[in-house]
Amino acid sequence: MTTTTTGTSTVNGSVGTAHTRVEGRDKVTGAARYAAEIPFDELAHGWLVVSTIARGRIRSLETAPVLEMTGVLTVLHHHNAPRVDSDYVGMLGTPDPTAAVFQHDRVPHMGWPVALVVAETPEQAREAAEALVVRYEEEPHDVAFSGERPDAYAAEGHMPAVTEKGDLDSELAASAVVVDAEYTTPEEHHSPMEPHAATARWDGGRLEVLDSNQGTTWVQGELAKMFSLDPDSVRVRSEHVGGGFGSKGLRAHQVAAVMAATALQRPVRVVLTRRQMFSLTGYRSPTTQRIRLGADADGRLRALEHRSLSLTSTVHEFVEPSAGVARVMYDADAHHTANRLVRLDVPTPTWMRAPGEAPGSFALEAALDELAEKCGIDPIELRARNKPERGPVSGLPFSTHNLLACFQEGARRFGWADRDPRPGLRRNGRWLLGTGTAAASFGAGAMPSTAVVTAEADGTFTVRIAAADIGTGARTALTLVAADALEVTPDRVHVRIGDSDFGPAMIAGGSMGTRSWAWAVTAAAAELRERLTLGTGIPPEGITVRSDTSAAIGALAQKERHSFGAQFAEVAVDVTTGEVRVRRMLGIFAAGRIVNPLTARSQFVGGMTWGISMALHEEAVRDQASGGHYGADLAGYHVAAHADVPHIEADWVDDPDPDDPVGIKGIGEVGIVGAAAAIANAVWHATGVRHRHLPIRPDRVLPAGAAAEGERDA
């Protein structure tokens, strides 16, 4: 027996120091195994068959010829699939019934799963799935989204649908300057590089699912409820996850894989195709937003209205809460916000990186820029004059509010002071040049989690937590947090994540993952250190402490808790081709204590890269006739590629969260917020034309750009 305790010297200071990813070597050598890459004997392959109509009923499935095809093992569909329960409340609310596959004959959208063909090889499964004849009773569908829908209704989602204070019309009438504009954002897709994949198998009476998800205990809980299983008899593992961005929760592929594994009593793997991901994994709803701002001549807001319309499916309600951002950012005597929804024959949208804030900040921050122009005030000064003292709607104090510090540091580093505010003046060859800025914010929250920390007999420590590292660097961040909490060097800490057997934990989402998990790890480590200082020595099985942060997080005082940021962009616009190039970007963030500067910078820059993509490229176009997408793949849906992305700088100001044990706020989402607005504002500064509809495509720039020339000449 060894009597190692925490070591001879205490170490503190891993948090805040750059560390390469602990799983980095596995990722650069190809050794890291993702969900579809773990081999099993007798593995069978499932291939989903999805609807080719947007609304109607399945009349028949001609399974007999398919079942005779080589290698085909079964075809699951609504006549023979196990019944599941989708009438429950899971960790994050009621499930999207899209995941409860093969329960009825109704088709609510194009690309709805109607069958799963399972075969010995992927080639056989795919061929049989493509050969399966499905006949439908087609009904007329409605996929037309516009701001004019009379059937739109106010919808809550995770925040109040409507907030109203003051008399909007009279304050607008009394305003010296008014901005009244409509902004639109298109349907956008997460498009993680790794397609959703799950392998399900029964192992000694337990259901095991190897999956690519953002929360193993989340998916475990959903599957247990859906299949009416004891949660302890379900284990979900998710070691490496190839991106998620909000799309990797409970989806059709896991449920179909479990059904097939149960029916065949063999391991079954179901991997979505890239095309299927466009209809089965959620997306960001298009939005139509109307902003009305009224201000005194000095720019102080008297009136603010932010109304947003988004869409959802006919089977599940999801709100893209774009008007929520106005409830945090700016106050006004009359302050009205509303999130509204229309139901169409489309798949259900879901959370996508900065839900609400990403499209909402585009509209609001572009409108602020228009107001600055009309008032003749610098855009940063305008934001300084309208910094709220308390939550504009809640009336609660801010835990910290370091937006202006971000703007100050950003302005200094970007060279903002030298900027001539007049638009359309700078030319470099065929390029018109401009710069723009915008504010960013995202909620800083924490959710209860449990962690298990063990002092091993060999002097190392093992941390077990059902966290997910979807590329955020969480595994490495938690290693540093645990090292500091244990007062040892990080090389003595082994963090194991992605296994529902480790106990309940927050998902990787809402910028709350690392903060929530770090809290639980810190709590367990602190208690373990106390136990170790008693000096009793470590038995061979180690000493293990489990934490649960439910009570601590439940005791947090009600405050406005947010990360903030200042985005800066410089663009070049060629008005003869319509091309917009982002030349450089700078983002300065106040986002809590930064655990690992190396990976944190990557996350901020990644978010800003999403901002470029959102501003200039991404747009899923729905064909009104068929109800499906044009080009539902990575050629038809362009996400920013290498050549689209210039050098991007991201940095931060000191902003530790006063109520978090580590000082963390969360950094996954704030990087995209405001980024598209900064780019759109820069395009205006370059050309003199406001682009209120994303993406700013060449065909939108071409006619508008010519107008700018005229304006400038005038």
Q: Which residues are CB-contacts of 434 (< 8 A; sequence separation ≥ 6)? A: 423, 426, 570, 571, 573, 682, 683, 684, 685, 686, 687
Q: For another protein, which residue of 18, 67, 154, 621 counts as binding (CB under 8 A)?
A: 18
CB of 189 to another protein, least distance (A): 10
Which is closer to another protein, CB of 467 or CB of 648? 648
DSSP, collapsed to helix, strand or coil, labels residue 183 as strand
27 in contact with another protein (CB under 8 A): yes
Token digits of residue 409: 């540091």
DSSP 190: -
Smallest gap from Cβ 645 to another protein, in A, equals 4
Which residue in the set 4, 11, 32, 448 belongs to the binding site for another protein (CB under 8 A)?
A: 32
Q: Given the structure tokens 């020595």, which residue do they identify?
A: 537
Judged by CB under 8 A, the chain residues 608 through 627 that form the site for another protein are 608-610, 613
CB of 190 to another protein, least distance (A): 8
* Shortest distance, position 273 Cβ to another protein, whole Å: 7
Residue ranges in 646-705 that form contacts with another protein under rule CB under 8 A: 646-649, 651
Closest approach of another protein to the CB of residue 426, in Å: 11
695: cis peptide before it, omega within 30°? Answer: yes
Segment lying near another protein (by CB under 8 A), choices 121-129, 258-266, 399-407, 541-549: 121-129
- 710 contacts: CB under 8 Å, gap ≥ 6: none
CA distance 687 to 704: 8
Spatial distance between the Cα atoms of 306 and 298, rounded to a whole number of angstroms: 21
Would you say 227 or 245 has its CB closer to another protein? 245
Concatenate the DSSP letters of all residues of 426-440 into one string.
Answer: EEETTEEEEEEEEEE
The tokens of 401 are what? 């509010």
What is the torsion angle, in degrees rounded to the nearest 10, for the CA atoms of residue 93, residue 398, residue 668 and residue 323?
Answer: 60
11's CB contacts (< 8 A; 6+ apart) are: 483, 484, 487, 488, 489
By CB under 8 A, what part of segment 207-266 binds another protein? 240-243, 245
- Using rule CB under 8 A, residue 426 touches another protein: no
- Among residues 208, 370, 560, 669, the one annotated as catalytic is 669
Q: Which stretch binds another protein (CB under 8 A): 215-223, 251-259, 493-501, 629-637?
A: 629-637
Strand order in the sheet with 197-203: 72-77, 113-119, 44-50, 268-271, 197-203, 206-211, 234-237
Which listed residue (326, 329, 372, 640) binds another protein by CB under 8 A?
A: 640
Cα dihedral sign for 263, 268, 273, 279?
A: positive
Q: Does 184 bind another protein (CB under 8 A)?
A: no
Q: What is the DSSP letter of 97?
A: G
Of the candidates 606, 603, 648, 402, the one whose C-alpha atom is nearest the C-alpha of residue 513 is 603
Q: Does 202 bind another protein (CB under 8 A)?
A: no
Q: Least distance to another protein from the beta carbon of 60, Å?
A: 28
Strands, E assignment, 608-708? 648-652
121 binds another protein (CB under 8 A): yes
Residue with smaller CB distance to another protein, 6 or 191: 191
Task: Tell me: does residue 418 bind another protein (CB under 8 A).
Answer: no
267-286 binders of another protein (CB under 8 A) = 271, 273-274
Residue 46 CA to residue 17 CA, distance in Å, equals: 45
Give me the torsion for CA of 595, 597, 603, 607, rounded to 10°: 110
Q: CB under 8 A: which stretch of 137-145, 309-317, 402-410, 636-644 binds another protein?
A: 636-644
Which of these ranges, 58-66, 190-198, 291-299, 696-704, lies near another protein under the rule CB under 8 A? 190-198
Restricted to residues 51-80, the positions that interact with another protein (CB under 8 A) are: none
Instruction: Give one DSSP letter per residue of 293-347, joined into a string.
Output: EEE-TT--EEEEEEEEEEEE-SS------GGGGHHHH---SEEEEEEEEEE-SS-
Out of 42, 123, 298, 623, point to the residue binding another protein (CB under 8 A).
Answer: 123
Among 56, 95, 195, 436, binds another protein (CB under 8 A): 195
* Contacts (CB under 8 A) with another protein, residues 442-471: 470-471
**Using rule CB under 8 A, residue 20 touches another protein:** yes
d(CA 570, CA 286): 26
CB of 673 to another protein, least distance (A): 14
Residues in Cβ contact with 660 at an 8 Å cutoff, skipping those fewer than 6 apart: 446, 515, 519, 592, 593
Interface residue with another protein, options 89, 635, 713, 714 (CB under 8 A)? 635
Residue 486: helix, strand or coil by DSSP? helix
**Of 35-43, 166-174, 258-266, 337-345, which part binds another protein (CB under 8 A)?**
35-43
384: nearest Cα among 300, 308, 326? 300
Q: Least distance to another protein from the beta carbon of 362, Å?
A: 17
Scanning residues 553 to 582, which ones bind another protein (CB under 8 A)? 570, 572, 581-582
412 binds another protein (CB under 8 A): no
Q: Which of 29, 205, 540, 554 binds another protein (CB under 8 A)?
A: 29
Nearer to another protein, 206 or 274 (CB): 274
Closer residue to another protein (CB): 326 or 677: 677
Annotation marks residue 305 as catalytic: no
3-class secondary structure for 322-334? HHHHHHHHCCCCE
Applying CB under 8 A, does 603 fall inside the site for another protein? Answer: yes
Please tell me whether residue 317 binds another protein under the rule CB under 8 A.
no
> According to the binding rule CB under 8 A, does residue 40 interact with another protein?
no
Nearer to another protein, 188 or 365 (CB): 188
**Residue pair 340/154 in contact by the 8 Å Cβ criterion:** yes
Query: Which is nearest to 190 in space by CA: 244, 137, 121, 147?
Result: 244
Q: Which of 132, 440, 480, 605 binds another protein (CB under 8 A)?
A: 605
Query: Binding of another protein at residue 191 (CB under 8 A)?
Result: yes
Kindly tell me which residue out of 287, 472, 511, 514 binds another protein, with binding defined by CB under 8 A: 472
Q: How far is the CB of 212 from another protein (least distance, A)?
A: 9
The CB-of-632 to another protein minimum distance in angstroms stands at: 11
As a whole number of angstroms, the distance between CA 488 and CA 11 comes to: 5
Shortest Cβ distance from residue 427 to another protein (Å)?
10
25 scored as a contact of another protein (CB under 8 A) = yes
Active site members:
669
